[in-house]
A and B are shown apart, each in its own frame.
Chain A
Amino acid sequence: MDPTTQTRDWGECHGERRVALVQISPVLGDPARNLALHLDRIEAARQQNADLIVFPELSLSGYFVRDMVPDIALDPAGPEVAELIQAAGPAALVAGLVEESPRHRFYNAAFYAEGGRVVHVHRKVYLPTYGLFDESRYFAAGERIEAFDTARFGRVGILICEDFWHLSAAAIMQAEEVDLLMCGANSPARGVDGPKIQTAETYERLSRAFAQLLGAMVVLVNRVGFEDGLCFWGGSLVVGPDGRLCAHAAMFDEAITIAAFDPAELRRQRLVAPLARDEQLLLTIEELNRIKRQLYE
């Protein structure tokens, strides 16, 4: 842990936190216009006293970027992100971008910034390359799933879209003992035979399950709008550590949804069900090592 960071346990911070879930429809492959869109929404979120402003996956680029990737990549340490961080002022900020590494690998990434600097960058690990998806063709896979400490939100983990569908990613975040798990998504609607879009239903189910199993807040922000006939359904949400829905943004429409929650809920829920405490981490590692030996040695 960085000793210069003023890390506090979230449970000791009194007072509610206000999270802004920002559902936008980015312009496909136009970072300049998307930057302007972000600045506009950051300003609006700040007017609603947001402490944390969360944009969806690839919010600065759009989703079906394909061969545009090398032309629209940004540097999390570059001037565009710096402008956003400055605009956010005292609020923490999460946004998605195509990141180009110094070795010219391209990642589907999201950054978390507070106190005027980028604190963490998560590179999407699970790149869906099946069905309508072909992310592995364009992106390198991230190599780490790790949490980080923040000044006002305790220990935080970020996942991106498909990462959230992998039990192991959630298990790692549980072992990290996150207080807040965030997922930025670009989820296209599929399955229209039930009362809700099937993909939306699954995301809600996963969010509620992970929140309860981790004893953490879960924030899911999904984009809206269309790209080549795909309908991104929005429906961003916040789930409390008891698995209950705290906020649910509109389906399909651009929106800034403010969710206020009390960090004291984390403590209460962990008293009710100390699941993360009771995890047998060493046992899990041992069993995974056994499987590893069987598979690879």
Chain B
Amino acid sequence: MSDSTVQVDLTINAELVTDILCRFIHNEIHRAGFQRAVVGLSGGIDSSVVTFLAAKAFRPENVLGVTMPYKTSSEATRRDAQQVIDRLGVPTVDVPITKQIDAYFKQFPDASQMRLANKCARERMTVLYDQSAAFEALVAGTSNKSERLLGYGTQDGDMASAVNPIGDLYKTQLYQLAGYLGVPEQIREKTPSGDLWVGQTDEGELGFTYAEVDRLLVLMVDRRWRRAELIGGGFDAQFVDRVAALVRRNHYKRRMPVIAKLSHRTVDRDFRYARDWGT
């Protein structure tokens, strides 16, 4: 797919990033009036990193790891999530979502795999928000920069959270951070998968690897390389165009709903306040 010749270094200072992110989690949750975090644990690299960071920021007893398996969820998913729980000693609650999902789709038996995947993601979101109320905590998000840019996630599902410490880190960088934090090797070395259906992998579905697309995204988004420059750097034109289209087409997922403007001050357009207003 991509045989780019240009050198792209995505290396981060993991110690510095950990310091900033732990302070971020602590500060942004604390100023909202909470001292705890809830994380949906999938056994993947993203939620593992966030749980490790939150446990460092707040101590493990203040981080609730929630597992939410569906009937097709793999045994490996469950086992890897358990590894994080065991390693950190965080409290945990297991909330299977099979019953409610199946009850809903009984009415729509012909629903596509995509609808099922999105419904599961949104069901998990409502479970996390409810658990956060019970645990007196905020939901820590687990959606990374690669996914957010590509739109590879469910709006108001896995893309939803109260605070997201990893939303500005590419997947490639999360592997580096995971190594620094001591996330179990088994989790760091497995193929990324949303476990959306049996055998599903992110890279199989996307059609390229994170290693490839992250190198392209960092040049395209962060360093503002133009199309011709990217192609000149060795990236395949079709790959560049496809990724650019994904970024553009999925931008709606990263924004609040569009509001019809009528008055002189419309929320989020010319009624502009920081979220941390007054704190």
* Residues 18 to 60 of chain A near chain B (Cβ within 8 Å): 27-30
* Residues 12 to 42 of chain B near chain A (Cβ within 8 Å): 12-13, 16-17, 19-20, 23-24, 27-28, 31
Q: List residues of chain A with CB within 8 A of the CB of B255.
A: none
Q: List residues of chain A with CB within 8 A of the CB of B7.
A: none
* Residues 215 to 255 of chain A near chain B (Cβ within 8 Å): 225-229, 231, 252
Q: Are A27 and B278 in contact (CB under 8 A)?
A: yes
Q: Which of B50-58, B197-205, B246-254, B267-275 contacts A (4 or more CB under 8 A)?
A: B267-275
Interface string of B90-132 (1 = CB under 8 A from A): 0000000000000000000000000000000000000000000
Is A189 located at the chain interface by the 8 A CB criterion?
yes
Q: Are B276 and A226 in contact (CB under 8 A)?
A: yes
Q: Are A231 and B16 in contact (CB under 8 A)?
A: no
Contact pick for B271, options A64, A65, A67, A197, CB 8 Å:
A67
Q: Are B12 and A193 in contact (CB under 8 A)?
A: yes
* Residues 176 to 199 of chain B near chain A (Cβ within 8 Å): none
State A124–B274 Cα separation when bound (angstroms).
21
Q: Are B277 and A28 in contact (CB under 8 A)?
A: yes
CB distance from A68 to the nearest CB of B (A): 7
Contact pick for A228, options B16, B19, B275, CB 8 Å:
B275
**A-B complex: 7 closest residue pairs judged by Cβ atoms:** A64-B274, A226-B27, A66-B272, A67-B272, A228-B274, A227-B276, A231-B20
Q: List residues of chain B with CB within 8 A of the CB of A226.
A: 23-24, 27-28, 31, 276
Is A195 located at the chain interface by the 8 A CB criterion?
yes
Q: List residues of chain A with CB within 8 A of the CB of B263.
A: none
- In the complex, 8 of the A-B residue pairs with CB atoms within 8 angstroms, ordered by the A residue number, are A27-B279, A28-B278, A29-B277, A64-B276, A189-B20, A194-B13, A226-B28, A252-B19
Known: A28-B278, A29-B274. 5 other contacts (CB 8 A): A30-B278, A67-B273, A226-B31, A231-B23, A231-B24
Q: Are A29 and B278 in contact (CB under 8 A)?
A: yes
User: Which residues of A come within 8 Å of B, CB atoms?
Assistant: 27-30, 64-68, 189, 192-197, 225-229, 231, 252
Q: Are A192 and B12 in contact (CB under 8 A)?
A: yes
Chain B residue at smallest Cβ distance from A189:
B20
Q: Are A227 and B274 in contact (CB under 8 A)?
A: yes
State A252–B9 Cα separation when bound (angstroms).
26
Is B5 located at the chain interface by the 8 A CB criterion?
no
Q: List residues of chain A with CB within 8 A of the CB of B19.
A: 252
Q: Are B23 and A66 in contact (CB under 8 A)?
A: no
Assuming the contacts A194-B13, A252-B19, asked whether A66 and B24 have C-beta atoms less than 8 A apart, the reply is no
Assuming the contacts A231-B23, A252-B19, asked whether A193 and B11 have C-beta atoms less than 8 A apart, the reply is yes
The A interface, classified by DSSP as helix, strand, loop or mixed, is loop
Assuming the contacts A226-B27, A226-B28, A229-B28, asked whether A192 and B13 have C-beta atoms less than 8 A apart, the reply is yes
Give the A-B pair count, Cβ closer than 8 A.
58
Q: List residues of chain A with CB within 8 A of the CB of B273.
A: 29, 66-68
Q: List residues of chain A with CB within 8 A of the CB of B17.
A: 192
CB distance from A130 to the nearest CB of B (A): 12
Assuming the contacts A29-B277, A29-B278, asked whether A192 and B24 have C-beta atoms less than 8 A apart, the reply is no
Give the interface centre of A30, A189, A226 by most chain B CB atoms within 10 Å. A226
CB distance from B143 to the nearest CB of A (A): 14
Chain A residue at smallest Cβ distance from B28:
A226
State A67–B24 Cα separation when bound (angstroms).
24
Q: List residues of chain B with CB within 8 A of the CB of A197.
A: 16
CB distance from B27 to the nearest CB of A (A): 4
Q: List residues of chain A with CB within 8 A of the CB of B9.
A: 193
Q: List residues of chain B with CB within 8 A of the CB of A225.
A: 27
CB distance from A37 to the nearest CB of B (A): 13
State A3–B244 Cα separation when bound (angstroms).
65
CB distance from B2 to the nearest CB of A (A): 22
CB distance from A81 to the nearest CB of B (A): 22
Chain A residue at smallest Cβ distance from B265:
A67
Q: List residues of chain A with CB within 8 A of the CB of B13.
A: 192-195
State A197–B31 Cα separation when bound (angstroms).
24
Chain B residue at smallest Cβ distance from A251:
B19
Q: List residues of chain B with CB within 8 A of the CB of A29.
A: 273-274, 277-278
Chain A residue at smallest Cβ distance from B165:
A229
Q: List residues of chain B with CB within 8 A of the CB of A229.
A: 24, 28
Assuming the contacts A193-B11, A193-B12, A252-B19, asked whether A28 and B276 have C-beta atoms less than 8 A apart, the reply is yes
State A226–B30 Cα separation when bound (angstroms).
11
